[in-house]
Each structure stands twice: as structure tokens, then as C-alpha cells.
């Protein structure tokens, strides 16, 4: 539905405003800005849009009629775009849990810039997928993750740094929001400060000789320097890194993310039980 001024409704950015409907419960309209993470077809002409919003966390919303050629805002609801939108939804616990998009304005449609650049497109896809997986519960606001996701897509579009570096910097910082940042400047087990030579994903990152578990990796010292630079946003150091160092760093970051993601997924049923009780 589209809100008409004649309805005399007012809303403020980010605030809920009750709207009477004919179906017996009150719909609410609210504004937010968001990154489009994913778009799925729904029926003949609709889409389900997965959004990471600034104030309302991750949510899925239905966009009606956007696949028709006459749609005013279909093009604004493509993956990786930063949009300002108005959503309509029912209050918690009443009616459909799927909100609907009633208005959309484009802030910056980064997706267009990745279409002709496959490496950047895959990096953007990995960023969007990670953002979705790091927000397993809908409507749980995470301002820091929103800012990181938006910043990473903006940096990818600006093309000032290699796409792989932007992705790894994002993954490292996004893991930090989940409490999974790998230890780099201290031992992950005993906390002894310093640059340690071994790296163990199950132990939580760099490990000192006393704590090093069997099977720990021994990355090149430059690899941990790069990991540290990406975490801190030290781009001159990151940009100067050599391809083999970038590859090794990417491998460790991906392994670290994968390991924690799988553990987090196993703990998810607990979250679901808590929510439904
Ligand atoms: Zn130690």
C-alpha cells in the first residue's frame, strides 16, 4: 500500500506510527534506511527483500508489483543498494510477520557497479551473505554491523582497494561484532602480548609457543601483519601486501569465520526456544 497524504498520518524517521486498517489490527508504518542483502521472487510480480536496516536489524519485507515494468521502485530494490524506505507491518505478535515495502528512495545503488566486475560482485555477495548469517534473529538491531556492511559495499564500489582486501577487512570486523575476532597481537589462550608465530582457529587466533595446540598453522609473519592492518583499517600497509600474503590471510580469515559460524548455528535452537517461550 502507498501512504496518501490525505490520510492525515504523520510519522517520524525511525518511529512507529499506528495506522488503522480494515483487518481488525493496527498496522504500523515506519521509516528506516537499509542495505538490500537479498532479493527473491514471489509469485508473478512480487519480491521478498532481505534488508539489513539501521534501526530495526535484519528483516524480510514483501515488495508488491515490483517486477512489473511499470513499477516505480523495482530498480531501487536490487541487491547491495543503500535505500531509504517506508515499511508497513503489524505490531509484534499480531498478523503477518512479513512487513511490506510501501515507499523506497535510492541513496546509492552500488549493485550496478558490480555487475560488470565479477570479483567485486562475488565479494559483495560474500559480504551480504555474512551480514545475513551474523543476524540469525530478525529485528534485533545491530548498528555496528549495519555501518560495517554499508561501509564495505561503499568501499567496494569506490574500488580504491582490492576487493579481496575489502572483504577480509569486513569479515574481521564483522566477526568482532559477534565476539569472534581472532587474537592477533596476543596469545588467544593465555593473553601474553606480542606477535606469535602460530595460528590456531579452534584456539581463537595467534597462539604462543606454550599454548600452541597440535595442528596449529604457521603463517608468514607478514600474513599476521596484514590481518592486523585490515582489522585496524591501516590501508597503506594492507594495499602494499603481496598476493601470497593476501591469499594466506584470506584462508585464515575464512577458516576462522567458518569455524565460529558452525558453532553459532549449533547454538541457534536455544535462541529459538527462548523466543517462543
Ligand atoms: Zn599462550
The CA-based angle 193-225-256, given to 5 degrees, is 80
CA 209 to ligand 1 centroid distance, Å: 7
Calculate how far, in angstroms, residue 64's C-alpha sits from the geometric centre of ligand 1: 56
pLDDT at 140 over 70: yes
The tens digit of pLDDT for each residue in 29-64 reads: 899 999 999 999 998 889 999 999 999 999 999 998
Cell numbers for 176: 568482532
Residues pairing with 32 in the sheet: 85
pLDDT digits (tens, 9 = 90+) for 232-249: 999 999 999 999 999 999
CA of 210 to the centre of ligand 1 (A): 5
Q: Which three cell numbers stand for residue 34?
A: 537499509
Of 134, 40, 27, 122, the closest CA to residue 78 belongs to 40
3 state SS of 42: strand
Distance 215 CA to ligand 1 centre (A): 15
Please name the residue ranges forming H helices in 61-142: 111-114, 118-133
Least confident of 10-19, 42-51, 153-162: 10-19
Proportion of the chain above pLDDT 90, given as a percent: 70
Q: How far is the CA of 213 from the centre of ligand 1 (A)?
A: 10
Q: What are phi and psi of 138, to 5 degrees?
A: -70, 150
pLDDT at residue 19 tops 60 = no
The confidence band for 68, taking pLDDT boundaries of 50, 70 and 90, is confident
> Ligand 1 centre from 190 Cα, in Å?
4
Is the predicted pLDDT of residue 77 greater than 70, yes or no? yes
What's the pLDDT band for 272 if we cut at 50, 70, 90?
very low
- In which region does residue 227 sit, left (phi positive, over 0), alpha (psi from -120 to 50) or beta (all else)? alpha
Please write down the HEC assignment for all residues of 183-244. Answer: ECCECCCCCCECCCCEEECCCCEEECCCCCCCCCECCCHHHHHHHHHHHHCCHHHHHCCCHH
pLDDT confidence of residue 66 = 83
The CA R_g of the chain, rounded to the nearest whole Å, is 22
Task: Give the global pTM.
Answer: 0.84
Summary mean pLDDT of the chain: 86
Please tell me the distance between residue 137's alpha carbon and the centre of ligand 1 in angstroms. 35
* pLDDT for 23 beyond 80: no
Mean pLDDT computed over 199-209? 96
Residue 92 has pLDDT above 60, yes or no: no
Whole-number Å distance, alpha carbon 176 to ligand 1 midpoint, is 20
What whole-number percentage of the chain has pLDDT above 70?
A: 83
Strands 57-63 and 99-109, sheet pairing: parallel
Answer yes or no: is pLDDT of 26 > 70.
Answer: no
C-alpha cell belonging to residue 55: 534501526
Determine the length of the chain. Answer: 277
Distance, CA 224 to ligand 1 centroid (Å)?
A: 16
Question: How far is ligand 1, taken at its centre, from the CA of residue 196, in Å?
Answer: 9
pLDDT exceeds 80 at position 97: no
State in Å: Cα 201 to ligand 1 middle: 14
φ and ψ at 182, to 5 degrees?
-70, 145
Q: How many whole angstroms separate alpha carbon 207 and alpha carbon 136? A: 30
- Reported as a pLDDT band with limits 50, 70 and 90, residue 12 is very low
Between the alpha carbon of residue 34 and those of residues 162, 173, 205, the distances in Å are 25, 19, 32
Tell the residue number behind the cell numbers 488503522, with chain if given: 20
Amino acid at each position: 500500500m502507498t501512504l496518501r497524504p490525505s490520510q492525515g498520518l504523520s510519522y517520524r524517521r525511525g518511529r512507529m506510527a499506528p495506522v488503522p486498517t480494515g483487518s481488525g489490527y493496527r498496522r504500523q508504518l515506519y521509516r528506516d534506511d537499509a542495505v538490500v542483502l537479498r532479493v527473491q521472487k514471489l509469485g508473478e510480480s512480487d519480491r521478498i527483500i532481505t534488508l539489513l536496516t539501521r534501526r530495526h536489524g535484519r528483516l524480510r519485507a514483501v515488495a508488491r508489483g515490483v517486477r512489473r515494468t511499470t513499477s516505480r521502485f523495482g530498480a531501487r530494490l536490487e541487491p547491495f543498494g543503500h535505500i531509504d524506505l517506508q515499511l508497513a507491518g503489524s505490531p509484534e505478535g499480531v498478523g503477518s510477520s512479513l512487513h511490506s515495502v510501501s515507499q523506497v528512495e535510492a541513496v546509492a545503488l552500488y549493485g550496478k557497479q558490480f555487475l560488470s566486475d565479477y570479483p567485486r560482485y562475488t565479494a559483495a555477495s560474500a559480504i551480504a551473505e555474512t551480514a545475513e548469517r551474523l543476524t540469525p534473529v530478525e529485528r534485533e538491531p545491530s548498528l555496528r554491523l549495519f555501518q560495517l556492511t554499508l561501509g564495505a559495499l561503499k568501499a567496494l564500489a569506490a574500488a580504491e582497494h582490492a576487493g579481496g582486501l575489502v572483504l577480509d577487512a569486513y569479515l574481521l570486523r564483522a566477526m568482532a561484532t559477534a565476539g569472534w575476532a581472532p587474537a592477533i597481537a596476543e596469545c588467544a589462550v593465555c593473553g601474553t602480548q606480542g606477535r606469535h608465530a602460530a595460528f590456531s582457529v579452534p584456539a581463537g587466533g595467534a597462539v604462543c609457543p606454550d599454548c600452541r595446540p597440535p595442528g596449529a598453522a604457521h603463517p608468514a609473519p607478514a600474513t599476521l601483519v596484514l590481518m592486523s592492518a585490515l582489522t585496524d583499517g591501516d590501508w597503506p600497509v594492507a594495499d602494499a601486501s603481496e598476493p601470497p600474503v593476501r591469499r594466506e590471510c584470506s584462508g585464515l580469515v575464512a577458516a576462522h569465520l567458518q569455524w565460529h559460524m558452525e558453532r553459532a548455528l549449533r547454538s541457534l535452537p536455544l535462541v529459538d526456544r527462548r523466543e517462543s517461550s
